[in-house]
């Protein structure tokens, strides 16, 4: 029996890295019966049945997992958005941030295309909320600040098409884009083909490359109960205990501490708007739809 991490998953096969030696494995039927699927990022026990091949027999406890992209034990969600071309969709950004809070995953934000428009207003919103933010022109600036964000962590990259993910990866490690490009071409990016999820080593950390997942899709597939939503907006913390009514939803109540902070400009309007939108969506959710 050996322990390792699943670094790649493709149609029924799991590639388990045990200290640099990679085994191609199938999963024990047991998992199917229990309704669990091994995920890329999982730490597992495996049994070698013939040289280089075997079975995943046990999934070690997960710290967290995302549904789309399907990755477990995520240390960092690296959220990439561009200040222009395409313009950032703050509702999607705030949804992803809330989901990450809910699951206990750290987030760092990278704002690309800083040569096309001034990113300082956008950066301020998220820095003041408590997130690390880096802005750059990926075509000419050094990506060292991004390397620092990734170091030692298992990262999932989230960002919509055209924000400059490949450009950024290419700036950090040219050979990586080459490989991801090959994967995407083979599978037909964006089409409904079987998706390969794979971990790549980068900057002393690991990046999950998940072609075809948009930030919006990631946001849509996760659910948060409305009672827990206020905990997922970091900057509400000092205000949400100052509400007149217990069980205040912070959307329209009189004497709401959060609303008062929004009025005073201490909580950005865009963040509160995203909160209200998510709260309204959460009111429609049935308990059985909430996962994890």
Ligand X SMILES: Nc1nc2c(ncn2[C@@H]2O[C@H](COP(=O)(O)OP(=O)(O)OP(=O)(O)O)[C@@H](O)[C@H]2O)c(=O)[nH]1
Give residues in contact with ligand X (CB under 6 A).
Answer: 112-113, 115-116, 137-139, 159, 161-167
Nearer to Zn ion, 75 or 253 (CB): 253
In the complex, least distance from residue 99 CB atom to Zn ion, rounded to whole angstroms: 22
Q: Which residue is nearest to ligand X (CB)?
A: 164
CB under 5 to 8 A by kind: which of ligand X, Zn ion, none does 256 bind? Zn ion
Applying CB under 5 A, does 258 fall inside the site for Zn ion?
A: yes
**3-state SS string for the chain:** CEEEEEEEEECCEEEEEECCEEEEEEECHHHHHHCCCCCECCEEEEEEEECCEEEEEEECCCCCEECCCCEECCCEEEEEEECCCCCCCHHHHHHHHHHHHHHCCEEEEEEECCCCCCCHHHHHHHHHHCCCEEECCCCCCCCHHHHHHHCCCEEEEECCCCCCHHHHHHHHCHHHHHHHHHHHHHHCCCCCCCCCEEEEEECCEEEEECCCCCHHHHHHCCCCCHHHHHHHCHHHCCCCCCCCCCCCCCCCCCCCHHHHHHHCCCCCHHHHHHHHHHHHHHHCCCHHHCCC
Applying CB under 5 A, does 248 fall inside the site for Zn ion?
A: yes
257 among the known binding-site residues? no
Nearer to ligand X, 84 or 231 (CB): 84
- Considering only 5, 195, 250, 271, the residue that binds Zn ion (CB under 5 A) is 250
54 among the known binding-site residues? no
- Considering only 79, 83, 98, 256, the residue that binds Zn ion (CB under 5 A) is 256
186 among the known binding-site residues? no
Nearer to ligand X, 60 or 139 (CB): 139
194 among the known binding-site residues? no
In the complex, least distance from residue 128 CB atom to Zn ion, rounded to whole angstroms: 20
Applying CB under 5 A, does 271 fall inside the site for Zn ion?
A: no
**Binding site for GTP, residues?**
112-115, 159-167
**Binding site for Zn(2+), residues?**
243, 248, 250, 256
């Amino acid at each position: 029996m050996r322990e390792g991490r699943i670094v790649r998953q493709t149609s029924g096969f799991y590639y388990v890295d045990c200290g640099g030696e990679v085994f191609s494995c199938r999963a024990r039927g047991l998992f199917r019966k229990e309704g669990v699927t091994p995920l890329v990022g999982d730490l597992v026990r495996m049994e070698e049945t013939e040289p280089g091949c075997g079975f995943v027999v046990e999934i070690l406890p997960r710290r967290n997992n995302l549904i789309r992209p399907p990755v477990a034990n995520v240390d960092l969600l690296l959220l990439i958005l561009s200040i222009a071309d395409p313009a950032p969709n703050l509702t999607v950004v705030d949804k992803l941030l809330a989901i990450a809070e809910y699951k206990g995953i750290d987030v760092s934000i990278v704002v690309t295309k800083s040569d096309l428009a001034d990113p300082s207003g956008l950066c301020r919103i998220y820095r003041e909320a408590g997130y690390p933010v880096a802005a750059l022109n990926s075509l000419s600036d050094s990506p060292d600040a991004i390397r620092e964000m990734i170091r030692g962590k298992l990262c999932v990259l989230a960002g919509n098409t055209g924000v400059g993910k490949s450009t950024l990866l290419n700036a950090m490690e040219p050979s990586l884009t080459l490989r991801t490009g090959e994967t995407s071409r083979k599978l037909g990016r964006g089409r409904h083909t079987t998706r390969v999820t794979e971990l790549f080593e980068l900057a002393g950390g690991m990046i999950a490359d998940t072609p075809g997942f948009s930030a919006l899709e990631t946001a849509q597939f996760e659910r948060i109960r409305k009672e827990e939503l206020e905990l997922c907006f970091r900057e509400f913390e000092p205000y949400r205990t100052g509400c007149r009514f217990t069980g205040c939803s912070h959307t329209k109540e009189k004497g709401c501490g959060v609303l008062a902070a929004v009025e005073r400009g201490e909580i950005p309007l865009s963040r509160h708007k995203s909160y209200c939108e998510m709260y309204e969506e959460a009111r429609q959710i049935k308990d059985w739809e909430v996962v994890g």
